[in-house]
């Protein structure tokens, strides 16, 4: 049973680069969307708040798998054009999905900053942009860190879904190996669990560090 472990590892590890690249790109995209959408939901302009709310609720309220299928298959069929490669579709779908969730983290963190800080910055004749950049966001960032760490782990796990649209990540290679070695299916997926856990370890560590920083910031 264990004799095949080295072969399985060598086979599935072919998708390691794809998995990590999609995670890094999707995480970066989701962070950008989080700040854009989160701050737009605090805008004084009604139409901006409305458009952003539609984006957030749509991507929070629909399945990531369905979003992947729509971008990869449904939209090209309806419009007759290919939006992008499967790799980019995975990045876009995951980034938009988790960006919607993280935007709420940004919004609530900004709102939770003590109102006295805003009043003091107004008294100093700071513009709205200056208040946000110099006073509110630095304090809100501390509050965001734990949730950003937790959602980063979720993003990593979400990358496993891209195999459903043909992206050659580690799960894709695991499925291919299992399909030709059915008796070793349990071992294949056990090894995949271990690989995902190993990749997630730095994120777990950073998440805990973020919690400590947030608590420290709250105490000072």
Would you say the C-alpha torsion 132, 138, 140, 144 has a positive or negative sign?
Answer: positive
Contacts of 170 (CB under 8 A, 6+ apart): 12, 13, 14, 15, 16, 18, 19, 192, 195, 196
Return d(Cα 220, Cα 218) in angstroms, integer: 6
Fold of 2-219: MetI-like fold (1.10.3720)
- The DSSP-derived string for 89-103 is HHHHHHHHHHHHHHH
Query: Does the structure show a pLDDT above 80 at 214?
Result: no
> For the chain, what are the domain ranges?
2-219
Give me the pLDDT at residue 133, please.
Answer: 77
Return d(Cα 207, Cα 159) in angstroms, integer: 19
Q: What is the pLDDT of residues 74-87, one digit of tens each?
A: 988 888 878 788 99
Q: What is the pLDDT of residues 34-87, one digit of tens each?
A: 999 999 998 889 999 999 999 999 999 999 999 999 999 998 888 887 878 899
- Please tell me what DSSP assigns to residue 81: S
Please report, for residues 5, 102, 161, 175, 192, the alpha-carbon distance to residue 186 in angstroms, rounded to integers and kept in the order given.
11, 34, 19, 11, 10
Rounded to an integer, the average pLDDT of 7-23 is 94
Tell which residue, 194, 191, 164, has the closest CA to residue 177. 191
Give me the pLDDT at residue 219, please.
Answer: 47
Query: Does the structure show a pLDDT above 90 at 31?
Result: yes
Contacts of 46 (CB under 8 A, 6+ apart): none
Q: What is the pLDDT of residues 173-201, one digit of tens each?
A: 999 999 988 888 899 999 999 999 999 99
Q: What is the pLDDT of residues 108-166, one digit of tens each?
A: 998 888 777 777 777 777 777 777 777 888 888 888 888 999 999 999 999 999 999 99
Band of pLDDT at residue 220, cut at 50, 70 and 90: very low
Calculate the CA dihedral of residues 110, 112, 115, 121 and round it to 10 degrees.
-30
Return d(Cα 40, Cα 100) in angstroms, integer: 12
Give me the pLDDT at residue 184, please.
Answer: 86
Give me the pLDDT at residue 60, please.
Answer: 93
């Amino acid at each position: 049973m264990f004799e095949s472990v080295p072969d399985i590892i060598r086979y599935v590890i072919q998708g390691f680069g794809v998995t990590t690249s999609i995670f890094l790109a999707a995480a970066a995209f989701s962070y950008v969307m989080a700040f854009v959408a989160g701050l737009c939901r605090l805008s004084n302009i009604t139409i901006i708040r409305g458009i952003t709310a539609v984006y957030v609720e749509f991507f929070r309220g629909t399945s990531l798998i369905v979003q992947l299928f729509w971008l990869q298959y449904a939209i090209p069929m309806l419009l007759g054009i290919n939006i992008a490669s499967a790799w980019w579709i995975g990045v876009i779908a995951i980034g938009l999905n988790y960006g919607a969730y993280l935007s709420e983290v940004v919004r609530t963190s900004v709102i939770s900053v003590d109102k006295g800080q805003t009043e003091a910055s107004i008294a100093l004749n700071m513009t709205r942009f200056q208040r946000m950049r110099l006073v509110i966001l630095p304090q809100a960032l501390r509050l965001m860190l734990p949730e950003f760490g937790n959602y980063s782990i979720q993003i990593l796990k979400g990358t496993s879904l891209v195999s459903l649209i043909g992206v050659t990540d580690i799960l894709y290679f695991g499925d291919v190996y299992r399909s030709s070695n059915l008796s070793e299916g349990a071992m294949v997926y056990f090894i995949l669990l271990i690989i995902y856990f190993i990749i997630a370890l730095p994120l777990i560590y950073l998440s805990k560090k973020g919690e400590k920083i947030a608590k420290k910031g709250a105490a000072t």
